[in-house]
Chain A
Amino acid sequence: METFLSGLAILSTWEVLVALLIGSIGGVIIGAIPGVGPAVAIAILLPATFSFEPIVGLTMLLGIYGSSMYGGSLPAILINTPGTAVNALTTYDGYPMTQRGEALRALGLAYGASFVSGALSILALILLSPLLAKIAPLFGSREIFLAALLGIVLVVLAHRGQTFAAGALAAFGIFIGTVGLEPVRYTQRFTFGLDFLSSGFDLIVVVLGLFALSQAFLLLSQPDHAPDGQRIEGNMFAAMLRVFRHKRIASAGAGTGVIMGMIPGVGEFTAQFLSYTYAQKTSRTPEAFGKGSEEGLVASESANNAVPAAAMIPLLALGIPGEALTAMMLSVFYVHNVVPGPALFRDSLDFIYALFAAMLLLNVIVVVFVGFSSNLLMRAIRIPTRFLGMAILTLSFVGVYSLRNSVSDCLIAAGFGLLGLVLKRQNLPVVPIILGMVLGGIMEVKLRSAMARVQTPLDFVDRPIAAGLALAIVLLIGFHIWGVIRERRNTSPESSHDHDRHDTQQG
Chain B
Amino acid sequence: MVRTQTLQDLFKRYRRPGDLLVAALSLAFALFLAVNLPGQTTWVARVQLFAQPAFWPTVAVAAMVLFSALHLIGALVSERIPGRWAEVGECLKAVEYVVWFMVYVLLVPWLGYLPSTIAFTLLLTYRLGYRGMRWSLAALALAVGVVVVFKSGLQVRIPSGALYELLPTGPLRTFVMTYL
Contacts and interface: CB of A to CB of B under 8 A. Distances in A.
Interface of A: 47-48, 51, 161-162, 164-165, 167-168, 170-172, 174-175, 177-178, 182, 184-185, 187-192, 213, 216-218, 220-221, 384, 386-387, 389-391, 393-398, 401-403, 405, 407, 410-411, 414, 417-418, 421-422, 425-428, 436, 440, 443-444, 447-448, 451-452, 484-485, 488-489, 493-494, 497-500
A221 B93 contact: yes
B173 interface: no
B102 A410 contact: yes
B157 A164 contact: no
B40 A410 contact: no
Interface in B20-62: 22-23, 26, 30, 33, 36, 40-42, 44, 48, 50-51, 53-54, 56-57, 59-61
A189 B40 contact: yes
Interface string B57-98: 101110110111011001000110000000100110111011
Chain A interface, >50% SS class: helix
B175 interface: no
A408 B138 CA distance: 30
B48 A418 contact: no
Contact of B16 (A221, A425, A443, A447): A425
Nearest to A160: B13
Interface centre among A168, A216, A217, A396 (most CB of B within 10 A): A168
B108 interface: yes
Contacts of B121: 390, 394
Interface residues of B, number: 75
B56 A444 contact: yes
B57 A184 contact: no
A221 B98 CA distance: 11
Interface string B111-135: 0000001001100110011100001
Contacts of B68: 164, 168
A502 to B, nearest CB: 12
Contacts of B26: 165, 168
A164 B87 contact: no
Nearest to A171: B63
Chain B interface, >50% SS class: helix
Nearest to B105: A410
A394 B9 contact: no
Given A410-B101, A425-B16, A493-B9, A175 B57 contact: yes
A220 B64 contact: no
B63 A394 contact: no
A208 to B, nearest CB: 11
Contact of B56 (A391, A410, A440): A440
B59 A448 contact: no
6 contacts: A165-B26, A393-B124, A397-B104, A440-B60, A451-B50, A497-B13
Given A405-B109, A500-B14, 16 more contacts: A47-B156, A164-B71, A164-B74, A168-B63, A171-B61, A178-B57, A390-B124, A390-B128, A390-B142, A393-B97, A394-B117, A402-B157, A405-B158, A426-B16, A494-B79, A499-B13
A407 B105 contact: yes
Contacts of B102: 410-411, 414
B7 to A, nearest CB: 10
Contacts of A171: 60-61, 63-64, 67
B166 interface: no
Contacts of B44: 185, 187
B180 interface: no
Contacts of B101: 213, 393, 396-397, 410, 414
A427 B19 CA distance: 10
B146 interface: yes
B60 A418 contact: no
Contacts of B117: 394, 397
